[in-house]
Each structure stands twice: as C-alpha cells, then as structure tokens.
Structure 1
Amino acid sequence: MLRRSLVILRQFSTSGPKSGPAGRFQYTIRAAFGKYLLVTNTVSSGVLMLLGDIVEQEFHHDFKAREDEPRYDYGRLGRMFLVGLGMGPVHHYYYGLINKLWPLRDMVTVSKKILADQIVMSPICIAQFFYTLGLLEQKPVKRISEEFLGKFGAVYTMDWCVWPPTQFINFYLIPCRYQVIYINFVTMLYNVFLSYIKHEY
C-alpha cells in the first residue's frame, strides 16, 4: 500500500500543468486535497504517528535510557507507522460521514459533532490503537484486552482535555477537505503522550 501511495504521489507531483515550479506545486496541492484526498489522509496519518513516536523515543533516550540502549526502536517505529496508516482511512470516511449528516457550522451542529467524536469515535480510535499495535507485537488477544482496559481510563481522560477544543476549531473553521490533515498534525503532538502511555506507563 505504501509503494502504491508513493507511485500516486509521484504521478500527481510530476504531471498536470507545466507552468513552472509554482504551477506544479499548486496542481500537487489541489490533487492531494481533491482526487487523492484518501491517500493524503492515509499517508499523513502514518507519517505523523511515526513522528510522534520519534519524539517520545527521543525524550526516553535523553532522560530514561540506559547507556547501552539504542536511540531508536525501529520495530516499534514501524508498528506505529502501520497503526497510523490504518487510522487514516477510518478518519477519512468518518469525517466525510459526519459532514454529510451535519453539514452546517453553527454552534448546535458543532456541538453534535464534538459529542459524537468523544462518545463514539474516541473509544473506537483508542481500541484500534491498542489492538492493532498488540497484534503487530504478536501478543495474545487476552493480554491486549488487559492492557487496553488498564490504560483506557488515562487515555480517555486526556482525550476529553485535548480533543473538544481541538475539534471545535476543526468543525467550526477548517474546510472539510483539510479536517483530517489538521487532526493528523494535532495527533502528532498527542501521540507523544499516547506512545508514552502505551510503551512506558
């Protein structure tokens, strides 16, 4: 899937209007947030999940690591990247659905979206994170479930602190096609916390 995504990225970054670098850049941006929006949302989700884990591993290395401990756990980075790729399509279709169900940008509609995000989507994403990572780590489902139940409270509490104000900006101000990429950038910072809870809590 990653190879296919890179091929598509190369195609729309080197094709289209040939009016110089500025024209190609504008074409690339239009294609990334138009025809290839699913690819953009998927790849950006994987890459930004990866970057969040790199930051957390940097903190760990600077403050907690043993002298003989490698700076990066590359297997863990790869797993975090794959989890992010898996979350990309979920977010893409979810935001498309709620924007069709509730297309307005008034306070009542934004409040409905925030509540749906916190009550429905947030638990789904937390479960997806722990179960996908656990399966990639080849843990038995029973052990994954124990970890999920043991850490869910801490993650869900932080979700209520971070996401309602973040999603208010998203649903009230950000155009629909940019909502997932906006969330992915915020998630990159949030993933520092999430990675810490997963690997060190």
Structure 2
Amino acid sequence: MRLFYILCTKIPGNVVKNIASSSSKKVIPPTAYTRIWGSLFGKYLLVTNTISSGFLMGFGDIMSQEIEYRTNLLQKRYDWKRIGQMFLVGCLAGPFHHFFYKWMDHILPKADVVTSAKKIFLDQTIFSPFCIITFFYSAGILEKKNLGECNKELKEKFLTVYFADWTIWPTAQFINFYFLPPQYRVLYINVITMFYNVFLCYVKHTETSFFKFLEPEREKSTKEN
C-alpha cells in the first residue's frame, strides 16, 4: 500500500501527462481486411459497383432458371450463355447506378425523411424507367434481336416490370437513402436486385405481359356484350 501511495503522489505530473498523451496518440495499424475493404469501397468503388452488379444479376438469373426448370418452362437446367448475357447486362447497369446515386447525393446531401422522399421520387420517375428500357434493349441486343423485336418486347413487358418496381423499390430505397452511407448504396441495391432479378429474368425470358392479366376481363366483357 505504501508503494502505491508513493507512486500516486510522488510521480511528477508532467510524466503522467506524457504517458497519457502517448497512449492517446497510439494508432492501431489497419489489417489487410480493412485495407482491402477500404479500397473496394473507396478508391475502387466504381469497379466494385460494376462487378457486383454483374455477378448478382447473373446469380439472379441462375435462380430464375432454377424456378423455370422446376416448373417445366426450361428443358435444360442452366443456360450458361444466357447467364453470361445477364452478367454483362448487370455490368452495364453498375456504372449507371454508381453515377446516378452519386449525383443524387450531391444535389440532395441530407439524410432526412423529406430528402429521402425526394430521392425516391427521382429514382422511380427517372432512373427506374431508364433502367427497364436499358435492360430490355441491352439483353435483346445480346440475344441478337433486331430493333423491332426489342421494341415489341419492351411494349409488352414494360408495365409489368414498372408496376412491380413501385411495389418493391420505394420501401427498399427509403432504407438505402435514410440509413446507409453513400458508398454502400449500390451494393445494397445489388443485393436486393439479386432477388428482384429472379422476377425480372423470368419476365424477360417468358411470355409474361401486363396485358395478359387484362385478357380474361376483356374476354368476359366481350361475351357479356
């Protein structure tokens, strides 16, 4: 106890301050994991967003093909050419997402409810239609369809996809814009899109059309008349 008393009372104050100062300035060196993570979501964010968009679009198509195979819509389990095409479409979409969200965060930097609502409005009225159009035309070109065939497919399926967008993305994007740091926006969207792509790829590669849902009503009204 006496030794403890001496240490507490006899050590000069400047020594104690120096010890405290040196300990507070101690910097923990970054690990390899933190350096890689920092590079992926810092210096190489555009590359990360592009590649992750491609891989998750391709994986979404794999899940879509599995469903189509199990429901007898596909004879072969996996069409790797089609998966590769969806990967390329995803890689094309990645930079658009990257720069669009960067632009929105620049003009609307706050993370409150009103600002998030404005971003959702811009996303749904400008970017969502653009992405749908880009998806069908880029996928159609990779499938060697001509412009007329791409136009026909877009006309038949645009409303189906766009209405589905409104049921899913406003809620997902509110979480994105209100809670997440900007550098994780595209990765978050890509993860959600991976599951959404199951639906998107199904619509793309089947005869699904919004107007087909209206056909029974049309037939019913025709018979009544």
Q: TM-score, normalised by structure 1?
A: 0.87
Q: Secondary structure at the residue paired with 1:55?
A: helix
CA distance in 2, matches of 1:104, 1:149: 37
Equivalent position amino acid for 1:62 in 2: R
CA distance in 1, matches of 2:72, 2:192: 25
Task: Show CA shifts across 1:86-123 (max 9, x none).
Answer: 00000000000000000001111111100000000000
Equivalent position amino acid for 1:47 in 2: F
1:92-171 → structure 2 map (5 Å cutoff): 92-171=98-177
Where does residue 44 of structure 1 map in the other structure?
52
CA distance in 1, matches of 2:124, 2:117: 11
CA distance in 1, matches of 2:196, 2:148: 27
Q: Secondary structure at the residue paired with 1:168?
A: helix
Task: Show CA shifts across 1:146-180 (max 9, x none).
Answer: 10011001100000000000000000001000000
Q: Does 1:62 align with 2:70?
A: yes
Equivalent position amino acid for 1:36 in 2: Y
Consecutive unaligned residues of structure 1, counting only runs of 5 or more, are 1-18
Q: Secondary structure at the residue paired with 1:147?
A: helix
Equivalent position amino acid for 1:80 in 2: M
Task: Report the CA distance between 1:65 and its aligned residue.
Answer: 4.4
CA distance in 1, matches of 2:140, 2:124: 23
Between 1:104-113 and 1:189-198, the stretch displaced more is 104-113
CA distance in 2, matches of 1:195, 1:138: 17
CA distance in 1, matches of 2:55, 2:168: 21
Between 1:118-127 and 1:57-66, the stretch displaced more is 57-66
CA distance in 1, matches of 2:105, 2:73: 45
CA distance in 1, matches of 2:58, 2:183: 22
Q: Does 1:195 align with 2:187?
A: no
Identity across aligned pairs (percent)?
A: 48
CA distance in 1, matches of 2:114, 2:67: 40
Q: Secondary structure at the residue paired with 1:138?
A: coil
Q: Secondary structure at the residue paired with 1:139?
A: coil
CA distance in 2, matches of 1:53, 1:42: 17
Where does residue 186 of structure 1 map in the other structure?
192
Equivalent position amino acid for 1:64 in 2: N
Where does residue 37 of structure 2 map in the other structure?
29
CA distance in 1, matches of 2:158, 2:73: 26
Greater C-alpha radius of gyration: 2
Task: Show CA shifts across 1:74-96 (max 9, x none).
Answer: 11001000000000000000000
Residues 152 and 65 of structure 1, relative CA distance in 2, 3 Å threshold: closer
Task: Report the CA distance between 1:60 and its aligned residue.
Answer: 1.2
